[in-house]
Amino acid sequence: MSTALAFGKASAEDRAALVGYLPAGFPTVDVAIDAAKAMAAAGADIIEVGLPYSDPLMDGPVIAEAVYRALANGTRVADTLRTVEAVAAVGVPTLVMTYWNPIDRYGVRAFARDLARAGGCGLITPDLTPEEAGSWLEASDEFGLDRVFLAAPSSPGQRLAAVTKACRGFVYAASLMGITGARSAVSGEAPGLVKRIREHTDLPVAVGLGVSTGAQAAQVAAFADGVIVGSAFVRRLLDAADTHADDQGIPAVSELTAELSAGVRRLTR
């Protein structure tokens, strides 16, 4: 199943799509796989699998801590691809969220080939600009993969035009400037950013950074095609690991997914 089909299904049901993120390898590779599968079973329409990287500039403290532990446990690119394969096998579109350096080191075409073989849909690349993405544009075309670039509130119209032109699958609207992490309120800049992005593309627009509750998901679902949630999910697994309640992590992820899934269905637009 592709991201286009997932967004199309959500639109046909007059709701936004729920996009959930978890890093590969935390707290272990197998638990991360089970957590992502549980997320899909509880209502997530699309799954992002984070590829652990040693210098996660965009990530806030919650995701950065989980990624650090994943790397300390020996998680590698092959484990990320294994996670993608296992999650995609349950029928949910699965992308990799990654900084560019690991892909460049792996080999851009080789990674695109192996991601496609694993059943992955594409990449979200927060630190890659369209101007520097020539090899990825070619490889994603060759293997039919989505390429999701980020648009920021500070982006002028000319920049949004370039970003959206390079995207395939959907556009990632970063709702605020700064690092990832749950917030107490949805950014006031997000609706305007989505509106400006739509002036340049017919692709679905998904909003990320800051959503952690069903009520916030409903807010974003009122003006966006997708709601992206990451830190709030990772927080559930971190809490379970830190309190030695390992058997509670996956149920906590499922519970949050159900709440957020209900939220994206409470449209007010």
- What positions carry a catalytic annotation? 48, 59
Spatial strand order of the sheet with 146-148 comes to 146-148, 122-124, 94-97, 46-50, 17-23, 226-229, 205-208, 171-174, 150-151
First-to-last alpha carbon distance for the chain, in angstroms, is 27
Q: Is 248 exposed, middle or buried (0-12, 13-18, 19+ CB in 10 A)?
A: middle
The DSSP result for 72-127, as a single string, is: HTT--HHHHHHHHHHHHTTT--EEEE--HHHHHHH-HHHHHHHHHHTT--EEE-TT
Distance between CA atoms of 147 and 255, rounded to whole angstroms? 30
Residue 28, token pair as written in the block: 């272990």
